[in-house]
C-alpha cells in the first residue's frame, strides 16, 4: 500500500452505512477495516436485520471500545433496503460511504477517495476492488469500470461495487430508496446519478467477499427478476420499459465481464 499522506481540505464526518444479517463470520473483519482507516473522522452505522447468530454480540463488543460505532436493531427481518434507509436517516456525515458486513476496505480508502473528490470537485465516486473468498484470500479477480458513469450509463448497468461508493450530501442531499428486497443499492445509485455523474478513482481500495450466500452467486433467473422489479417499482417504469432496461442490463453485464472484470 502506498504510504503517501494525502492532503485533505476538510475533516468532515463520513457516515459508513452497513446493513447486517447473520454476519457473525465476517463482521469483525469488516469493522476492523473501518477502525484501520487513516481518515478517522467517521461513524459506522450498523443496522442489524434481526440476526439469529452472534452478529449483535460482536458489534456490541466493538461498541464498548469505540463510540463511533452505532448499532440499530430491527425487531423483525425487513430486508436490506429498510436497513440501509434506516442507516441513512440516522447518518450525520457530509460524506456517505457503503460497506456491507462481509466486505473489507484498504486502510487508505476513505482518505484517498475524499481527496480525489475534493481535488476534482466531484460529488459521487467509486473505486476498483478485488474479490476474496470466505477465508479472506484474494481470488485473483479484479474489477473496475468506466471513468465516468452518467445517468444514462447507470441506467444501462450497475457498474460500481457497493463497497466502493461515496457521495457528498452537501450536493446530493438526503436520498432514500424504495422498499424492495433486492437491488435496492442499484436503485439508490440511479437516484444519485440523476444529480451527479459518478467518477472512477482508478485504484483497488476494497475487497468484495464472494461466498455461497453472495447475491452475485444467485441464479440468472433470480437476477433477471430482481432487475425487472427494481425498474418497475423504484423507477416506476412500465412493464415493457422494465423489460427493455432489464435486457439492456443483461447485455452490459456481459460487456462488464469481458472488459472490466480482470484476472491479476
The vertex-82 CA angle with 221 and 57, nearest 5°, equals 105
User: So what's the pLDDT on residue 53?
Assistant: 95
How does residue 5 score in pLDDT terms, banded at 50, 70 and 90?
A: very low
CB neighbour list of residue 157: distance below 8 Å, 6 or more residues apart: 248, 249, 252, 253, 255, 256
**Spatial separation of the C-alpha atoms in residues 227 and 221, rounded to whole Å:** 10
Confidence of residue 218 (pLDDT cuts 50, 70, 90): low
pLDDT confidence tier of residue 221, bands split at 50, 70 and 90: confident
- For the chain, give the mean pLDDT: 91
Least confident of 125-129, 185-189, 226-230, 247-251: 226-230
The pLDDT tens digits for 12-26 are 999 999 999 999 999
SS3 content of the chain, % helix, strand, coil (to 5): 40, 25, 40
Residue 110 has pLDDT above 70, yes or no: yes
Strand partners, 129: 143
Q: Are 63 and 71 in contact (CB under 8 A)?
A: yes
Give the residue-averaged pLDDT of 29-54: 97
Residue 101 DSSP symbol:
T
> Domains in the chain, please, with CATH?
14-213 (3.90.550.10)
The pLDDT of residue 151 is above 80:
yes
- Asked whether residue 6 carries a pLDDT value surpassing 90, the answer given is no
Cα distances from 21 to residues 92, 138, 169, in angstroms, run 23, 23, 27
Could you give the residue ranges of the DSSP H alpha helices within the chain? 27-35, 55-63, 80-90, 109-120, 151-156, 169-172, 184-193, 220-233, 239-259
Please name the residue that has the C-alpha cell 420499459. Answer: 241
> What confidence tier does 2 reach under pLDDT thresholds 50, 70, 90?
very low
Banded model confidence at residue 3, pLDDT cuts 50, 70, 90: very low
Q: Where are the beta strands (DSSP E) in 103-219?
A: 104-105, 124-132, 138-143, 148-149, 166-168, 198-209
Specify the pLDDT at position 216: 52
Would you state the pLDDT for residue 10? 66
What is the pLDDT at residue 212? 65
Question: Which secondary structure element, helix H or strand E, spans residue 148, and what is its range?
Answer: strand 148-149
Residue 156 sits at the vertex; the CA angle it makes with 153 and 160, to the nearest 5 degrees, is 65
Q: What is residue 1's predicted lDDT score, i.e. its pLDDT?
A: 40
Query: What pTM value is reported for the model?
Result: 0.91
The pLDDT > 90 percentage for the chain reads 76
Q: What are 137's strand-pairing partners? A: none
* Residues 6 or more apart in contact with residue 245 via CB below 8 angstroms: 155, 227, 231, 235, 237
Amino acid at each position: 500500500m502506498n504510504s503517501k499522506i494525502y492532503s485533505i481540505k476538510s475533516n468532515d464526518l463520513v457516515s459508513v452505512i452497513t446493513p447486517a444479517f447473520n454476519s457473525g463470520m465476517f463482521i469483525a473483519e469488516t469493522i476492523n477495516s473501518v477502525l484501520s482507516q487513516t481518515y478517522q473522522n467517521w461513524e459506522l452505522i450498523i443496522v442489524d436485520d434481526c440476526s439469529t447468530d452472534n452478529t449483535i454480540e460482536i458489534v456490541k463488543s466493538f461498541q464498548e471500545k469505540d463510540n463511533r460505532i452505532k448499532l440499530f436493531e430491527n425487531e423483525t427481518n425487513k430486508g436490506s433496503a429498510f436497513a440501509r434507509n434506516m442507516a441513512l436517516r440516522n447518518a450525520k456525515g457530509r460524506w456517505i460511504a457503503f460497506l456491507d458486513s462481509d466486505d473489507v476496505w484498504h486502510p487508505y480508502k476513505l482518505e484517498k477517495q475524499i481527496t480525489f473528490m475534493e481535488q476534482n470537485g466531484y460529488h459521487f465516486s467509486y473505486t476498483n476492488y478485488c474479490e476474496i473468498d470466505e477465508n479472506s484470500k484474494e481470488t485473483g479477480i479484479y474489477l473496475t469500470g468506466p471513468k465516468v458513469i452518467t445517468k444514462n450509463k447507470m441506467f444501462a448497468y450497475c457498474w460500481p461495487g457497493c463497497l466502493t461508493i461515496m457521495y457528498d450530501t452537501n450536493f446530493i442531499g438526503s436520498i432514500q430508496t424504495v422498499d424492495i428486497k433486492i437491488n435496492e443499492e442499484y436503485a439508490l445509485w440511479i437516484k444519485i446519478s440523476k444529480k451527479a455523474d459518478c467518477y472512477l478513482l482508478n485504484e483497488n481500495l476494497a475487497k468484495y467477499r464472494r461466498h455461497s450466500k453472495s447475491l452475485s452467486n444467485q441464479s440468472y433467473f433470480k437476477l433477471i427478476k430482481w432487475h425487472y422489479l427494481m425498474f418497475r417499482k423504484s423507477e416506476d417504469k412500465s412493464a415493457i420499459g422494465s423489460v427493455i432496461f432489464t435486457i439492456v442490463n443483461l447485455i452490459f453485464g456481459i460487456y462488464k465481464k469481458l472488459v472490466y472484470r480482470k484476472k491479476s
